[in-house]
Amino acid sequence: MSTILSLTIAAAMLLPAANGAAAPGGAEPFVILNPEWERKPTQRELSKAFPYEIVSSFRKSDAAVRLRCRVQADGGVEDCVVASMTTTAARTLRVERNLAESALKLAPTFQMKPVMADGRSVGGALVIVPIIYKARQG
């Protein structure tokens, strides 16, 4: 069985943060849904992070884990949490935990451009990073 892993990024828009956390300077934080990435995980990093211990539960299954991370001024991400998860695999605590851990391992490999196209700094913003796992026989 070969495992295909891919990343997708949500549609472009800026939204106020739903969690009420303040950005630096007390400004209302915003969520970047279409980030401009300087770096994303490589195929090798994706494969390395994939939770192979759950492959038997994952055959012909897909999963999506959405991370919500705070963006640092240099474009790196921190304080990532799993915002949501869906899977067509049998939902067990083991499967969910392994998918969440896998996605969180990838967080340090993301690096945004530090300044958006409109000139605003990304520092203090929140970003949603959907990580899509697709497994298929091959």
pTM for the whole structure: 0.74
In the CATH scheme, what is the code of domain 2-136? Answer: 3.30.2420.10
pLDDT at 16 > cutoff 70: no
Residue 92 backbone dihedrals phi, psi, to 5 degrees: -120, 165
Q: Residue 67 burial (CB < 10 Å; 0-12/13-18/19+)?
A: buried
* Predicted confidence (pLDDT) at residue 44 exceeds the cutoff of 70: yes
pLDDT at 93 over 70: yes
SS3 category, 64: strand
Q: Are 85 and 96 in contact (CB under 8 A)?
A: yes
β-partners of residue 106 are none
Residues of the chain with pLDDT > 90: what percent? 35
Amino acid 34: pLDDT: 82
Residue 135: pLDDT band with limits 50, 70, 90: low
The residue among 52 and 40 whose pLDDT is bigger is: 40
Across 99-126, average pLDDT: 91
Lowest mean pLDDT among 6-10, 60-64, 81-85: 6-10
